[in-house]
Amino acid sequence: MAQNASNSALLKNALARGLVNTPGGFRRPSFVHVVRAGQSVVKRGGVSHLMDMATAALSEGPASQVAPKDPADQAGGWSAWATWNNQTGTSISSFATTWSVPTAPARHDGQLVYLFNGLQDPAGSEILQPVLQWGVSGAGGGNFWSIASWHVDGKGQAFCTPAIPVQPGDKLTGVMTQVAVFNDGTRNYNCQFQGVAGTSLMALGLTELTAAEETLEAYGVDSADAYPATPFTAMAQIEIQVGGNPAPLNWTPYTMQNPLFAEHTTIVSNANPGGGVSLFY
């Protein structure tokens, strides 16, 4: 996050200019797409589309250009995270993490706080993620916690299910599953919060997702009380399978450059299943 400017002011300026916040930064509304019931995301010819799953009709075809970066992205980003890169030679078949919805931030100033486990491609340009958020994003939301599944492609097109409110203390399990592999190397994935209707997002025709992430991401945070009123969130009961078998996990912790407050990552356990990563505010 930028320390020489107000992150809150940058965020508010971006919203005043009509930009939309997503995990991954600010985007023009034309680059953010809500995936409704009966729809999936499908990549054809390197371009992601919304597809009607019953008829296979493309109901929306986003432009092929790359989403432009915006100075408002300096209002935040990944604050603390842990990464495991799959080098087993066998693709990740599933990735699950359980965590509890934290207490609300004491300060409500338009900030966005995201917590998620996610899968990225080797270049780090494409991600699939079941996301818990505080604030308003392209999925919806407000001054409360809500959940949605997201897919952001290599061109910066962001797709999400509608935000569903949740309560502090609710236990969440975010799960991503590889459901098909094709001869050209592309794959189909499903992303959802286990047992929560309306959070399932099917993403078809993706390149292999090889990097597992446990992440705290935030925008518009200028004071510690804009974070949840708790020291950390425990990302727990982590289970990653490769080819249907437990992967040999060895998480690497990361923290944003020049942390504003106490943001950092602690690896609790590399066990699989049952591992844990703590994301500190």
Per-residue pLDDT, 64: 64
pLDDT of residue 166: 98
Q: Which amino acid is at 166?
A: V
Q: Quick check: 220 and 111 in contact, CB under 8 A?
A: yes
What's the CA gap between 92 and 189, in Å, rounded? Answer: 10
pLDDT surpassing 90 at residue 2:
no
Query: Which domains occur in the chain, in start order?
Result: 7-62+74-280 (2.60.120.200)
User: Does residue 88 contact residue 242 with C-beta atoms inside 8 Å?
Assistant: yes
Euclidean distance between CA atoms 50 and 32, whole angstroms: 11
Which residue did the predictor score with more confidence, 68 or 229?
A: 229
pLDDT for the residue numbered 3: 43
Whole-number pLDDT of residue 62: 66
Residue corresponding to tokens 């991954």 = 24
∠ CA 173-244-266, nearest 5°, is 45
- Express each pLDDT in 146-201 by its tens digit: 999 999 999 999 999 999 999 999 999 999 999 999 999 999 999 999 999 999 99
Tokens of 187: 């794959």
Bond from prior residue into 273 cis (ω within 30 degrees of 0): yes
What token pair was written down for 237?
């009961």
- For residue 14, give both structure tokens: 């971006």
pTM of the model: 0.95
CA distance 102 to 145: 9
Q: For the segment 141-150, what is each residue's pLDDT rounded down to a tens digit?
A: 999 999 999 9
In the chain, pLDDT over 70 holds for what percent of residues?
Answer: 96
Q: What rounded mean pLDDT belongs to the chain?
A: 95
- CA atoms of 250 and 181, how far apart (whole Å): 26
Examine the pLDDT at 36 and tell me if it is beyond 50: yes
Length of the chain: 281
| Category of 17 on φ-ψ map: left (φ > 0), alpha (ψ -120 to 50) or beta | alpha
The answer to whether residue 4 scores a pLDDT higher than 80 is no
Give the SS3 label for residue 138: coil
User: In which band, very low, low, confident or very high, does the pLDDT at 82 lie, cut at 50, 70 and 90?
Assistant: very high
Proportion of the chain above pLDDT 90, given as a percent = 91
Say how many Å lie between the first and final Cα of the chain, rounded: 13
Give CA–CA dist 173/94, Å, rounded: 13
